[in-house]
């Protein structure tokens, strides 16, 4: 495994980080706890020491699964990345969207990051994770009703109390990062990035490179689309958010599969799966510190971790870029 420093902070993470959203089941058509725990442990055995989760993933389920999975492992060898600012248990802040919990009960998701809420969320997360500190504490989504400074002051207090090592954000613009940094130093921004979605290259990547901020790329597999297993007409399980997600429009699925067909000979040449090729490409991109890769069982987790064994030459990276330039997604 390879490890990289998050910006100029004292926190290093495995360049392939375990993404535990799907492990929590919420919006992914349910969860299987035993498989998820085995996936995290199998990843750890192959050097994947960083695990990214959030309270809202399964309304606590994902954090509990992570907590169970790391029991007995050396805590100082693991980096726990979790978040705050998305509540399903109160009606405060910005209304986000209507959803269902893992039992099918309707819930409303709110974006709220008031100081007292963050302090409570942190305590709840520590309990579920079975630890006394969080390595990277990230604002999940911007919250319009709370000044960014108030939220960051709360995280600064948590750092002073030793409950949080480093402050991070997720889905933040350059302007929002600058505002946050008037209060606390940020180690990283977690944002969507994939072969099909490279919008962060316009302003966020240059800013993070210049100011030494880490970038954690989430959805590098574009929620499974870049595995090559999703075909036109695919039917997702009930409660799976991908049904209405823009990249799963028929035309985009066709284009993604066409792209993967062009990349398959390169993957075959390296005795790698398409997923492994995509993960390796992601962590080779300028500014990207780590790629978040999810898995629901040990086999998927091992495949993801072994993407580190692939190497891509400059010519091969240029070839991939040329194929990506031909995409016309809707």
> Would you give the DSSP letter of residue 22?
G
Q: For the segment 231-265, what is each residue's pLDDT rounded down to a tens digit?
A: 887 887 777 778 778 898 889 999 999 999 999 99
Pairwise CA distance, residues 214 & 225, whole Å: 25
CATH superfamily, region 3-325:
NADP-dependent oxidoreductase domain (3.20.20.100)
Band of residue 30 on the pLDDT scale cut at 50, 70, 90: low
Band of residue 101 on the pLDDT scale cut at 50, 70, 90: confident
Q: Which residues are catalytic?
A: 57
* Residue 26 confidence (pLDDT): 58
Query: How many residues are present in the chain?
Result: 330
| Predicted model pTM | 0.94
Band of residue 75 on the pLDDT scale cut at 50, 70, 90: very high
Confirm if 139 and 166 have CB atoms less than 8 A apart: no
* Residue 166 confidence (pLDDT): 98
Q: For the segment 128-141, what is each residue's pLDDT rounded down to a tens digit?
A: 999 999 999 999 99
* Residue 316 confidence (pLDDT): 98
* Residue 24 confidence (pLDDT): 67
Say whether 139 sits in a helix, a strand or coil. strand
Q: Would you kindly state where each structural domain of the chain is located, as residue ranges? A: 3-325
Say whether 168 sits in a helix, a strand or coil. strand
Mean pLDDT of all residues in 212-241: 88
């Amino acid at each position: 495994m390879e490890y990289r420093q998050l910006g100029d902070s004292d926190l290093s993470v495995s360049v392939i980080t375990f993404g535990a959203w799907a492990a929590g089941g919420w919006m992914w058509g349910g969860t299987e706890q035993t498989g998820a725990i085995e996936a995290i442990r199998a990843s750890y055995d192959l050097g994947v020491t960083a695990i990214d989760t959030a309270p809202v993933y399964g309304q606590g389920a994902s954090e509990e699964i992570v907590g169970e999975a790391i029991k007995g492992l050396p805590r100082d060898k693991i980096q726990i990345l979790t978040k705050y600012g998305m509540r399903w248990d109160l009606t405060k802040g910005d209304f986000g969207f209507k959803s269902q919990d893992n039992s099918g009960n309707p819930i409303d998701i709110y974006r709220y990051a008031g100081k007292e809420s963050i302090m409570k969320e942190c305590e709840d997360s520590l309990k579920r994770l079975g630890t006394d500190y969080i390595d990277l504490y990230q604002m999940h989504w911007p919250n319009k009703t709370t000044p960014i400074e108030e939220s960051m002051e709360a995280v600064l207090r948590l750092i002073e109390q030793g409950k949080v090592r480093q402050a991070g954000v997720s889905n933040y613009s350059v302007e929002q990062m600058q505002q946050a940094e008037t209060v606390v130093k940020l180690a990283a921004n977690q944002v969507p990035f994939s072969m099909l979605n490279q919008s962060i290259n316009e302003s966020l990547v240059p800013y993070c490179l210049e100011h030494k901020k880490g970038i954690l790329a989430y959805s590098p597999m574009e929620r499974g689309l870049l595995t090559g297993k999703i075909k036109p007409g695919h039917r997702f399980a009930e409660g799976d958010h991908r049904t209405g997600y823009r990249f799963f429009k028929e035309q985009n699925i066709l284009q993604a599969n066409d792209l993967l067909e062009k990349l398959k000979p390169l993957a075959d040449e390296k005795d790698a799966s398409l997923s492994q090729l995509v993960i390796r490409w992601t962590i080779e991109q300028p500014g990207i510190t780590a790629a978040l890769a999810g898995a629901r069982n040990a086999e998927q987790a091992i495949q993801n971790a072994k993407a580190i064994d692939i190497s891509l030459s400059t010519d091969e990276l240029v070839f991939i870029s040329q194929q990506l330039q031909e995409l016309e997604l809707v």
